[in-house]
């Protein structure tokens, strides 16, 4: 039914999603284009720009057969019957709505390029997360003064989670397709549905209006982030009352109405989406005069910031009120395990603040050190000179006063902490920002252990 698909944007969403479509729809040619030529080169190499478990195999099966990574050309736009837009929609940093609204410049540029070269009748699919009613704006641009068949604009938000992107794409809880509720709109939605039906059961493909689809994505991220902030709020109270937040998570998570996921207390959420999408949601609420609703969602972001500040303060307090010139080993920098993505990782804030306190950091991470380097480049004063990037966690911990665990990579659970303890300054501390390690064992080895939302285990 569709022979040629184009995707504009070869990032964390565009690359893996299109690779999976190509893998599951061998009769469809899938071209993925990006203005970043270096990234295109990486997608065509053995070292993909995105690390995701299982992704290499999917890309290798389809690449060169019916999956192509290229620069964006007029020909590829003209050949496409269906065009996904997967470009970034970061928080706007300038002008009206700065710090809150989504920056849609990349989105609009893509739409205008499509307008210049696409065949009439091409279906345009917004996969980027966008404010409600963006499709309407894009549709206006695409259909301005155009006679004959319209461009149909669909909303098809992506719900994959980084770190499990391939599994999420292979077995999505649902695929959401929003369209105009006209005959043409519904026909376009069915075309897109046909692609997904190659591997997703029909009953898991939901059809809605465009607006519901757009708002569902923002709502989903706001709800997930809200759960994280809610349990983190309780973690602060646990620390004051000697309750244990892990026990509370288990106790409430077994309630079928609540469910167990996203109830792990820690240093807070990160990633390119949660904060950005909530800020955007709150901004939209403000635009519609719903300031109470906007404030409600903003409190989720404020709680996240508070949790990070609390964690840094705890490190300072426990390390005798100063970390100046002390070596601290940071375990994990990506915003979650199994990804090299560090965008809005809490690690950026934690490390920046520790550096402001004049600490010396040895940062370790199995996949994210290149990105960490970029994130911490250009810090004021001599801060950058006090950071070492050390892939080997044993070397990172050598001579350190404390381990600060920020990302719960499985690798960190399996380390020989007896050896690590011997190599560290005493008293040696572990600040477990993800409650990921075996605290009793660490305590028995001699560590002072400071978790989140439960009593610390101290030797003095």
Ligand X SMILES: NC(=O)c1ccc[n+]([C@@H]2O[C@H](COP(=O)([O-])OP(=O)(O)OC[C@H]3O[C@@H](n4cnc5c(N)ncnc54)[C@H](O)[C@@H]3O)[C@@H](O)[C@H]2O)c1
CA distance 261 to 269: 14
Nearer to ligand X, 336 or 408 (CB): 336
Residues 70-129 that bind ligand X (CB under 6 A): 72, 86-89, 106, 109-110, 128-129
Should residue 11 be labelled a site residue for ligand X when binding is judged by CB under 6 A? yes
In 3D space, the residue among 168, 126, 211 whose CA is nearest the CA of residue 20 turns out to be: 168
Should residue 68 be labelled a site residue for ligand X when binding is judged by CB under 6 A? no
Q: Which of 1, 3, 26, 36 binds ligand X (CB under 6 A)?
A: 36
Looking at residue 92, the DSSP 8-state letter turns out to be P
CB of 275 to ligand X, least distance (A): 11
Should residue 10 be labelled a site residue for ligand X when binding is judged by CB under 6 A? yes
Conformational region of residue 216, where left means phi above 0, alpha means psi within -120 to 50, and beta covers everything else: alpha
Helix (H) / strand (E) containing 21: helix 14-24
The interface region with ligand X, picked from 22-30, 34-42, 62-70, 258-266 by CB under 6 A, is 34-42
Do 38 and 61 contact (CB within 8 A), yes or no?
Answer: no
List strand residue ranges (DSSP E) for 22-75, in order.
Answer: 29-33, 67-70
Active-site hit among 86, 273, 285, 351? 273
**Helix/strand number for the chain, H first, E second:** 18, 14
Number of residues that bind ligand X (CB under 6 A): 27
CB of 247 to ligand X, least distance (A): 31
Nearer to ligand X, 36 or 295 (CB): 36
Q: Which of 5, 12, 150, 156 binds ligand X (CB under 6 A)?
A: 12
Q: 């993925």: which residue's tokens?
A: 32
DSSP string, 196-237: HTTTS-GGGEEEEEHHHHHHHHHHHHHHHHHHHHHHHHHHHH
Should residue 142 be labelled a site residue for ligand X when binding is judged by CB under 6 A? no
Should residue 344 be labelled a site residue for ligand X when binding is judged by CB under 6 A? no
Spell out, one character per residue from 167 to 196, where the chain touches ligand X: x when CB under 6 A holds, - when not: ------------------------------
**Residues 6 or more apart in contact with residue 183 via CB below 8 angstroms:** none
CB of 387 to ligand X, least distance (A): 24
Do 313 and 344 contact (CB within 8 A), yes or no?
Answer: no
DSSP string, 432-458: ETTS-S-HHHHHHHT-EEE-SSS--B-
Do 399 and 327 contact (CB within 8 A), yes or no?
Answer: yes
Should residue 25 be labelled a site residue for ligand X when binding is judged by CB under 6 A? no
Nearer to ligand X, 216 or 448 (CB): 216
CA distance 82 to 30: 10
According to DSSP, the residues that pair with 364 across neighbouring strands are 331
Residue 150 corresponds to which tokens in the numbers above? 């319209």
CB of 328 to ligand X, least distance (A): 29
Should residue 338 be labelled a site residue for ligand X when binding is judged by CB under 6 A? no
CB of 376 to ligand X, least distance (A): 19
The interface region with ligand X, picked from 6-14, 223-231, 257-265, 411-419 by CB under 6 A, is 6-14
Is 273 among the catalytic positions? yes
Nearer to ligand X, 170 or 398 (CB): 170
Active site residues: 273
Provide the binding-site residues for ligand X, judged by CB under 6 A: 8-14, 33-36, 39, 72, 86-89, 106, 109-110, 128-129, 158, 160, 162, 272-273
């Amino acid at each position: 039914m569709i022979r040629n698909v184009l995707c504009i944007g070869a990032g964390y969403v565009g690359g893996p999603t299109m690779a999976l479509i190509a893998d599951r729809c061998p009769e469809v040619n899938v071209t993925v284009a990006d203005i970043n030529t270096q990234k295109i080169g990486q997608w065509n190499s053995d070292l993909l720009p995105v690390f995701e478990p299982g992704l290499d195999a999917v890309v290798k099966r389809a690449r060169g057969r019916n999956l192509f990574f290229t620069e964006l050309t007029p020909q590829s736009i003209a050949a496409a019957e269906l065009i996904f837009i997967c470009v970034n929609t970061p928080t706007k940093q300038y002008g009206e709505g700065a710090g809150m609204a989504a920056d849609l410049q990349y989105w609009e540029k893509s739409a205008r390029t499509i307008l210049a070269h696409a065949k009439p009748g091409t279906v345009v699919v917004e996969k980027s997360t966008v404010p409600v009613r963006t499709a309407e704006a894009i549709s206006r641009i695409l259909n301005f003064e155009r006679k004959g068949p319209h461009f149909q604009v669909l909303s098809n938000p992506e719900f994959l989670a980084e770190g499990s992107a391939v599994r999420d794409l292979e077995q999505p809880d649902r695929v959401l397709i929003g369209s105009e509720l006209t005959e043409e709109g519904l026909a376009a939605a069915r075309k897109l549905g046909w692609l997904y039906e190659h591997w997703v059961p029909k009953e898991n493909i939901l059809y809605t209006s465009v607006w519901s689809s757009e708002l569902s994505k923002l709502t989903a991220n706001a709800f997930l982030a809200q759960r994280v902030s809610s349990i983190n709020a309780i973690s602060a109270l646990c620390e004051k009352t000697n309750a244990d937040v892990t026990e509370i998570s288990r106790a409430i998570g077994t309630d079928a109405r609540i469910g167990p996921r996203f109830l792990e207390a820690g240093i807070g959420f990160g990633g390119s989406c949660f904060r950005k999408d909530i800020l955007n949601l709150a901004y939209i609420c403000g635009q519609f005069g719903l300031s109470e609703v906007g404030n409600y969602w903003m409190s989720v972001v404020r709680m996240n910031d508070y949790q990070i500040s609390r964690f840094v303060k705890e490190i300072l307090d426990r390390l005798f009120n100063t970390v100046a010139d002390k070596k601290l080993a940071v375990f994990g920098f990506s915003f979650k395990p199994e990804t090299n993505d560090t965008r809005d990782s809490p690690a950026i804030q934690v490390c920046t603040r520790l550096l402001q306190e004049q600490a010396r950091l040895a940062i370790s991470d199995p996949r994210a050190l290149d990105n960490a380097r970029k994130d911490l480049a250009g810090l004021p004063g001599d801060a950058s000179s006090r950071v070492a990037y050390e892939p080997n966690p044993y070397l990172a911990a050598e001579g350190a006063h404390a381990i600060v665990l920020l990302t719960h990579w499985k690798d960190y659970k399996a380390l020989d902490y007896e050896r690590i303890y011997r190599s560290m300054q005493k008293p040696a501390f572990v600040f477990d920002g993800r409650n990921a390690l075996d605290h009793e064992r660490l305590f028995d080895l001699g560590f002072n252990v400071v978790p989140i939302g439960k009593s610390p285990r101290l030797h003095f």
